[in-house]
Structure 1
Amino acid sequence: MTRTTKIGDVRPLAVQVHERISSDIIDGKFPPGSALVQEQVAVQYGVSRTPVRDALTLVAQEGLATLVPGQGYIVNELSDQDVRDVYEVRYALESIASRQACGKHTPTQMVRLRAMVDEFETLDPADAKGLFLMGMQFHAALIEPCPNNYLRSTLATMWGHPIQRRINMTYPQGPSHQTKLAADHRRIIEALKANDPDAIVEVLRTCHDPSDHQLGPDA
């Protein structure tokens, strides 16, 4: 039995259980096709059925699992269409935000962007979580000067969504993948220096090319 609650965590138990289930799906502890039965999950996490029921409802709403009558919640496969859908929306929103942010970065913000790429290149290519977090921070810093607060918060929500995290954790990471992302980020920085929003959007387009984000081994 594994305790889900943490000392000092005052959030509702259902929220804590939801976070744990989502993380376990993203990390592959519950692989696609796994059945998430309320009673079994409650015993595994050391909680009652009520917070598990509420947590599983949220997991299903996020698209991580589907309720199948007589079987419980079944962990969904992550399809290429899921990947295309996420990147299509993120590209559209990031393009708008990047255009609005271009030309507004301070020297300090530019230095921070370059430092992020430098640090990104030092990470272990197999560190999927580390690469994801650093990439997320870079993209957040890219649109930081965007004056549209709602647009920035919407993109932050997308990056934090379990499906986005699951995509990045599912991709087999490797040196070529890491090198391409670093090169793309440096091209974005050069476009920012040149005050060229069209070039930024073009780099973002290649970053969000569905053919470059298929589920399969790193080339």
Structure 2
Amino acid sequence: MATSTKDTRPLAVRVYEQISSDIISGTIQANTMLVQEQIAAQYGVSRTPVRDALTQLSLEGLATLVPGRGYIVNSLSAKDVEDVYEVRYTLEALAARQACGLHTPQQLIRLRAMVDEFETIDPNDAEELFRMGAAFHAALLEPCPNTYLRNTLAAMWEHPIQRRITMTYRQGAEHQAKIAQDHRKILEALKTNDPDTIAEVLRYCHNPKDDRQ
């Protein structure tokens, strides 16, 4: 397994990150059986860290243990995607309403700069688009006084399922332009302290099932 010689984390953690990354990127596809012996041989490790990694994948919702067969990579249904965005939107709308009107001039400048940078990213670089999009949302909600709410949303953005959805729905330049446009609408609404508009924009922002006409 390719890894930095300075990486002192437990081997099981590194194996988990590698398998998780391969699932999120699509290198390991849905419904693939994850056989301990094969994975151990592929990554050049023993079965013990692989077993621990597969257990973590199951806890994260990326794989399911099938009795008598082993672990199988979960598929993403339309309902799975809808459930993720329903929860995230509800919490983000709440946090945005609490943050509205509390941004400093410096925070607004940083948000605008993040949108400018987002538009310069290669539209085929789904991972970088995801990273910058998540960073914008974190900065948007930074003034929210509810720390638990902010931390919960940060954990949602970092969850492997959220990343996998983003990697699954690669929508290219058109989708990138829509997200940038949404972010600029949010910036305009922040100037006028308009939480209703921000909440409405968040309903669709980064949602692969954007049904706006």
Q: Sort the TM-score into its range (normalised by shorter chain).
A: over 0.9
Instruction: State the AA in 2 paired with 1:139.
Output: H
Instruction: Give the Cα–Cα distance (whole angstroms) in 2 for the partners of residues 4 and 163 of structure 1.
Output: 24
Instruction: Give the Cα–Cα distance (whole angstroms) in 2 for the partners of residues 206 and 41 of structure 1.
Output: 38
Q: Say if 2:171 is the partner of 1:173.
A: yes
Instruction: Kindly state the Cα deviation for residue 209 of structure 1 after the two structures are TM-superposed.
Output: 6.0
What is the aligned-residue identity percentage?
A: 70
Residue 169 to residue 22, structure 1, CA distance change in 2 (3 Å): same
Instruction: State the AA in 1 paired with 2:147.
Output: N
> Which residue of 36, 44, 64 maps to 1:46?
44
Instruction: Give the Cα–Cα distance (whole angstroms) in 1 for the partners of residues 97 and 26 of structure 2.
Output: 37
Residue in 2 aligned with 1:71?
69
Instruction: Kindly state the Cα deviation for residue 94 of structure 1 after the two structures are TM-superposed.
Output: 0.4
Unaligned runs of 5+ in 1: 214-219
Checking the alignment, whether the CA contact within 8 Å between 1:109 and 1:141 is kept in structure 2 is: yes
Residue in 2 aligned with 1:216?
none
Q: Say if 2:158 is the partner of 1:160.
A: yes
Instruction: Kindly state the Cα deviation for residue 161 of structure 1 after the two structures are TM-superposed.
Output: 0.3
Q: Say if 2:193 is the partner of 1:190.
A: no
Comparing 13-22 and 68-77, the one that deviates more: 68-77
RMSD across aligned C-alpha pairs, in angstroms? 1.4
Deviations 1:126-159 (Å, cap 9, x if unpaired)?
1111111110000000001111111111111000
Alignment of 1:1-219 (within 5 A): 3-207=1-205, 211-212=209-210
How many residue pairs get aligned? The number is 211
Instruction: Kindly state the Cα deviation for residue 52 of structure 1 after the two structures are TM-superposed.
Output: 0.6
Residue 63 to residue 84, structure 1, CA distance change in 2 (3 Å): same
Deviations 1:3-26 (Å, cap 9, x if unpaired)?
254312121111111111100100
Instruction: Kindly state the Cα deviation for residue 207 of structure 1 after the two structures are TM-superposed.
Output: 2.5
Instruction: State the AA in 2 paired with 1:69.
Output: P
Instruction: Give the Cα–Cα distance (whole angstroms) in 1 for the partners of residues 2 and 206 of structure 2.
Output: 36
TM-score if structure 1 supplies the norm length? 0.92
Instruction: State the AA in 2 paired with 1:18.
Output: Y
Instruction: Kindly state the Cα deviation for residue 35 of structure 1 after the two structures are TM-superposed.
Output: 1.0
Secondary structure of the structure 1 residue equivalent to 2:203: helix
TM-score if structure 2 supplies the norm length? 0.94
Checking the alignment, whether the CA contact within 8 Å between 1:99 and 1:197 is kept in structure 2 is: yes
Instruction: Give the Cα–Cα distance (whole angstroms) in 2 for the partners of residues 4 and 43 of structure 1.
Output: 13
Instruction: Give the Cα–Cα distance (whole angstroms) in 1 for the partners of residues 22 and 208 of structure 2.
Output: 26
Checking the alignment, whether the CA contact within 8 Å between 1:110 and 1:189 is kept in structure 2 is: yes
Instruction: Kindly state the Cα deviation for residue 71 of structure 1 after the two structures are TM-superposed.
Output: 2.4
Secondary structure of the structure 2 residue equivalent to 1:66: strand
Residue 111 to residue 65, structure 1, CA distance change in 2 (3 Å): same
Deviations 1:24-43 (Å, cap 9, x if unpaired)?
10011111111111111111
Deviations 1:89-129 (Å, cap 9, x if unpaired)?
00011011111111111111101111111111111111111
Deviations 1:42-81 (Å, cap 9, x if unpaired)?
1111111111101101101111111112322111111111
